[in-house]
Chains A and B, each alone.
Chain A
Amino acid sequence: MEELRKLAKELLENKTVAAVLGYVEIEPKRTKPIVITNPEDAEKLVFNEYCLNNLAVYLTKARIKNLAKQNGSVLKLGIVAKPCDIHAIIALIQESQLKREDVYIIGMNCGGVAKDFGLEYGADTLASKCVPCETHKPLYSDTTLGAEKETPKVSDEVLDKIRALEKMTYVERFAYFKKEFDKCIKCYACRAACPLCYCQRCITDKTIPRWIESSPHSRGNFSWNVVRAFHLSGRCIGCGECERACPMDIPLSLLNRRMTETAKEAFAYVSGRSLETPTLVGSFDVKDSDELFM
């Protein structure tokens, strides 16, 4: 923690970064995002198993980006990032939303985070995104901090649920998702919390013509949730923020993980892992197998 605070303070003081996106503790086992521009505030920063947010979502926000512009020059934005958050940063760079040199990544070694604030961190309360995680050390960073850690070994409930869904008939699976999507209230917290839902104007907000019904009824909810899953296939880095943000507990990871598994099986591609690799859609080749398409 001390090294994090020291580094953040130095980066702000020597004008390497204009701001640091990080976490502040609001009570034991509960943190919230903070953006720091004053070096004195660096002492507020923390990093622990309750740093649930993926702060990469802020990197594409206009007012946060504007912080980098100071007196005619453009500084970097510093960000405290878990290895999975860094996958999102890489994906944003892959998709030309961000330049590598515009961001200073303070990578944190990570042994997983808790499912929710206030829970005692352990195998039983490990966030589902951390179960299949293979990157406990940052793949890219400007500085890596913290001791290397392992994630407690627990069974992959999400994958088990995906497998169970696959055993269902098409009709049963449809009924399952209808029941789940019927809960949707279209608050779009999933979209807001997603680092890769950065569109200035989302397709659901387009009204001339209206592509996706805005009503939160079965049909409108299917349109929204399925379109979002499509738009994230081969792009989702699996940070699970959509599911965590959902006030109605819709298991969005079932859709997103399935899409990720599909991309992995068919194209040996996982989003946000390499700066040298083009995006999956960006690397389309006419010789690609079309088995995945109808």
Chain B
Amino acid sequence: MEEKIISKQNLVKLCADIIGGGHILIAPGKTEYVVTQDASQIVLDTQSKPTKASYKTFVFPKAEPVLYYKRGKNDVQILDAGPEQKKTVIIGAKPCDTNSFNILSKVFNWDYKDDFYNYRVKNFIVIGMMCEFSDRYCFCTSVGSSPVSEKGSDIFLIPLDADNFAVRIVTDKGKEFIDAYSKYLTDGNPSKSKEVSEKVKHPEVAFDSKQVHDWLAKNFEHPKWDGVGDMCLSCAQCAFVCPVCHCFDIVDEDYSYTEGRRMKNWDGCQFGHFTLHASGHNPRDIQGKRYRQRVNHKFKYYVDKFGEILCTGCGRCSRGCAVSIDIKEIVANCKD
């Protein structure tokens, strides 16, 4: 597709226009993706560490009401809680984040089409950016992505020099969006941006996801799961910072005896009570079984069902783990 160039000054103006136009603008902050009101404060650094959490909360909020209810004398009144979100733009998203909507959309449009999710994604513009960060936890290249992958981006930025970015227009949605700001763009030079992106160092490929899938199919009862489980503390940090973990819990919250709302809240498969049955039976009663579920869901079940790995290789789960459990290392060892 097309390629343009934007200077850093013009990029600040473009961001200011996005905010001025009443849209929500999200950019990487110090440790999190944050909604920003001041375009001049946005720092786009290809070498920055991935934020602690992904930006999935902007399309799949950690807590959202799905309906409101009122109890009358003889009836219950149900009121819609439609998703309300202005057009949202994220700028400077890492390639390991941008692919998340492609993966999440599969499950949110499987047997039931999730209006809340779909509405937000429809109104979401993803401006991705090439990544030059890499640490021991990164493994985007092992799950079919790369630091220069445009997958999931509507527009993709590549820094050409200290003052300019190449603006690759990846999707029709991206083109429609950026056309409104064409005054800030000049004609691009694809050979230059190609040269820059080809020089980016890629994290080493740690495993072959096909082989991992096949190993998992044969090793459900492998004793290694117990060992992994014994060190895991059973929190949901890994699931909650993950760009593609999507489990949720439905709970009713009463404001009063007659009114309340139904909430959809994040949930995580590493919690002991996640699979606890009302009978008291728990099919995943020890942590090893729960960790096995985490790995199988990501590298086997989701692949079987939707043809995608439920992982973007961002490494957030491992980077944030209080006991330094490294999913890359565990998955790489899923072999005979």
Contacts and interface: CB of A to CB of B under 8 A. Distances in A.
B96 interface: no
Contact of A214 (B239, B265, B320): B265
Contact of B235 (A27, A34, A191, A217): A191
A35 B323 CA distance: 12
Nearest to A54: B322
B271 A63 contact: no
Most buried by B among A27, A213, A244: A213
Contacts of A220: 63
A215 interface: yes
Interface string A201-235: 00001000010011111001000000000000000
A247 B265 contact: no
B324 interface: yes
Interface string B233-270: 11111011100000001010100000000010110100
Interface in A17-40: 26-27, 30-35
Contacts, number: 95
Contact of B253 (A33, A215, A245): A215
Contacts of A213: 251, 253
A186 B237 contact: no
A216 B266 contact: yes
Interface string A34-62: 11000000000000000001000100010
B286 interface: yes
B330 interface: no
Given A35-B231, A64-B230, A215-B263, A53 B323 contact: yes
Given A186-B265, A186-B266, A215-B251, A33 B53 contact: no
A35 B232 CA distance: 12
Contacts of A177: none
A247 B240 contact: yes
B31 interface: yes
A123 interface: no
Contact of B231 (A34, A217, A244): A34
Contacts of A205: 273
Given A205-B273, A220-B63, A245-B322, A63 B230 contact: yes
A216 B265 CA distance: 7
A32 B323 contact: yes
B268 to A, nearest CB: 7
Given A57-B233, A215-B63, A216-B62, A247 B253 contact: no
A216 B63 contact: yes
B235 A193 contact: yes
B136 A27 contact: yes
Contact of B251 (A30, A53, A188, A214): A214
A85 interface: no
Nearest to A188: B235
A33 B232 CA distance: 10
A142 interface: no
Contact of A248 (B53, B229, B266): B53
Given A64-B230, A187-B268, A245 B237 contact: yes
A120 interface: no
Interface string A161-201: 00000000000000000000000011111011100000000
Contacts of A33: 231, 323-324
Contacts of A31: 324
A235 B53 CA distance: 31
Contacts of A61: 230
Given A27-B136, A215-B265, A189 B237 contact: yes
Interface pairs A-B: 5 shortest CB-CB: A32-B324, A192-B235, A245-B322, A192-B233, A189-B235
